[in-house]
Homo-oligomer: A and B are copies of this chain.
Amino acid sequence: MAETEKNRGTEKRERILEGALRAFAKKGFYNTKVSEIASEAGVADGTIYLYFKNKDDLLISLFEDRMEFLIERLQTELDAVQGGVLDKIRCAITLHFQLAIQEQDLAEFITVELRQSAKFVKEYENPRFHDYLRILENLIADGQSQGVIRGDVDRRLVARSLFGALDEVLLQLTLSRSGAPDVQEKARQVAQIFTEGIVAR
């Protein structure tokens, strides 16, 4: 029963996070009222404050939670790749796009709110986002030590550039809310540009 109660607790917390994600994706952090989140989550306004310190904290927790999910997913997929580093990069890019299709709200939320939050939500540094970038960096590093990727490129710069490129393309996809039938092709092309761009010859 202690278990059940805890479950009920976490289940409600999760409901709130989902409501917040939906609401933030639809209207943005600053245009979303706490009462709207509550109503999306099917709880009372005050209940939110039992699980989160305030609206900022809710946003931060949402980042933590969802980024953690993305990181785990990315890591798992990368581990499963048979091929070399370039294949892993292709895999990461494809996964990025796939997730955006599966989780429209999440994609919209991250592409739009990540930057604001980095600066204006009470000094929050978004460490999970840096974890995500680090995975990409490590991929590059592996490629460099294997001689597959040019040794003179700045790993962090490449990782950031890649994330930026993916993020911007996704932004367009999610904002247009087009079914985006050619996501696969877009993924292939971005992957090609970056792999060709950094490959050692």
Contacts and interface: CB of A to CB of B under 8 A. Distances in A.
A172 B160 CA distance: 9
A84 interface: no
Contacts of A65: none
Given A115-B111, A193-B194, A163 B168 contact: yes
Interface stretch (A12-20, A35-43, A151-159): A151-159
A193 B189 contact: no
28 contacts: A27-B120, A28-B116, A28-B119, A30-B30, A31-B120, A111-B115, A115-B115, A118-B171, A119-B175, A153-B189, A153-B193, A154-B186, A154-B189, A157-B169, A158-B189, A160-B165, A160-B169, A160-B172, A161-B190, A161-B193, A162-B165, A164-B167, A164-B168, A167-B168, A168-B168, A193-B198, A194-B197, A196-B199
